[in-house]
Amino acid sequence: MTTANVWTVLPAAGVAEDVSAGPLTGGPLTGPAVSRTIVLALRQGGRVPPAVEVVAGEVVRVARRLVESGSWPTARIVTQQDRLGSDHPIEWTSRAGD
């Protein structure tokens, strides 16, 4: 079997198990500072298909769990108040590599 060095930037939360188990190695980006914003958006007005609501809810639940548990240590959840006054997480901001 031939191996090659391949590099990519992924959030640590997404590959932590593979890094722990050994198939991957990883390390933090140390500079320059890199950040990204991940946004989950659903259309306003009209009907949102139930499957879309379920998937969006699961994405929010998993992201919140990763942030709150410390598995995604540099991320923070930004909320936006909807028309009914409820706060819903709609974006995550994180330094790349975390």
Indicate the range of 1-5, 8-12, 35-39, 88-92 predicted with least confidence: 88-92
Residue 35 lies in a domain: yes
CA distance from start to end of the chain: 30
Whether 7 is in a domain gets the answer no
Residues 62-97 pLDDT 10s: 888 888 898 887 788 877 655 444 455 545 555 554
The reply to whether 1 falls in a domain is no
Contact 38, 52 (CB under 8 A): no
Is residue 22 included in any domain, yes or no?
Answer: yes
> Is residue 76, in this structure, part of any structural domain at all?
yes
Instruction: Work out how many domains the chain is built from and give that number.
Output: 1
- Give yes or no for a contact between 39 and 64, defined as CB atoms under 8 angstroms apart: no
Does 32 reside within a domain? yes
- From residue 28, give the alpha-carbon distance in Å to each of 34, 73, 83, 95: 11, 12, 39, 10
**Structural domain of residue 38, as residue ranges?**
12-95
pTM: 0.58
Residue with tokens 């950040």: 35
Is residue 3 situated within a structural domain? no
Q: Is residue 5 part of a domain?
A: no
